[in-house]
Amino acid sequence: MQTGYYSAAAGMVAQFNRLDTISNNLANVNTTGFKEDNLVVGDFMRIYKEARDELPNENHTKEAAQFLNRNLAKAPQIVDSYTNHSLGNMQKTNNTLDFALSKEGLFFAVKTPQGIRLTRDGSFTVGDDGKLITKQGYEVLSGDGLGIDFTTQDSSIKSDKDGNISVNVPNSIKYTQTSSLFIAQPENISLLKKEGDNLYKYENADIMQNVEETGAVRQGFIEKSNVNAVKMMTEMIETNRLVGMYQKVMDTQMNDMNKDAIEKIARKV
């Protein structure tokens, strides 16, 4: 059994998974509020050093050495994935219906057919029925868990840093507060699961409370993706090279080594 061949094949699969993740990051480099995804490739030696005291055989023995050698033959694999939730750059748009959150761990809450979802994409608009919605048509929730409505007379809309929305009083320069944006802060951000349309699913979203004083809402801004295009291109080049190296190892294992073994056996026969 040629363990080197199978290890190289598995290593290539791991790099293909990395390429998929990198490609998705690059595809969303201009997506508002998008957060970069990353993968963790398993490192057996690191795992061994952390858990060697729990090995089934006593250390520094022939049995332990055999156990270690067998496990070192295991191929690299993707063991974990995570999302980098660091802030993206703030871009000024001067659009009164664009909102950005200037702190990590905060999200807007929207209502979808699948339930309440969270998003960092604050590029909103007003629907035909006067409700504040996302570009995909999902209703933006207010601080009390309902929708945010505007009338045709609301020609000017303002929001403070806590997301409290005020509209102009008709025929005057005064403003009156009518609603507020629902700002969610999940207790464990690692439990967020990405869905389509730049949304996150959170199991306890239905019982989350609105954070009233965040000081993080910036009207007339959007948060750009936190993907570093140069870094991603460098990682893509590196991953492509690793795929080529694994392919060369597989070719050597199947062709050169097998050919050499067959010739040696033929000479003995």
Q: What is the pLDDT of residue 25?
A: 95
- What integer is the mean pLDDT of 102-118? 94
For 173-212, what is each residue's pLDDT tens digit? Answer: 788 999 999 999 999 998 999 998 899 999 888 888 999 8
What mean pLDDT, rounded, does the chain reach? 84
Give yes or no for residue 268 having a pLDDT over 70: no
pTM comes to: 0.78
DSSP 54-69: G-SS-TTSHHHHHHHH
DSSP E strands, the chain: 37-41, 78-83, 90-92, 99-101, 107-112, 115-119, 125-126, 132-133, 139-140, 157-159, 164-168, 175-180, 183-184, 193-195, 199-201, 217-219, 221-223
| Secondary element (H or E) of residue 267 | helix 258-268
* pLDDT, tens only, 202-260: 988 888 899 989 999 999 999 999 999 999 999 999 999 988 888 888 887 777 666 66
pLDDT of 158-168, one tens digit each?
999 999 999 98
- 3-state DSSP assignment of residue 138: coil
Answer yes or no: is pLDDT of 110 > 70.
yes
Write out pLDDT tens, residues 49-63: 565 555 555 555 655
CB neighbour list of residue 7: distance below 8 Å, 6 or more residues apart: 73, 74, 75, 76
**Every domain of the chain and the residues it spans:** 3-85+227-268, 90-223
Range with top average pLDDT, 64-78, 143-157, 208-222: 208-222
pLDDT computed for residue 46 by the predictor: 58
Q: What integer pLDDT is reported at residue 77 of this predicted model?
A: 75
Would you state the pLDDT for residue 245?
A: 87
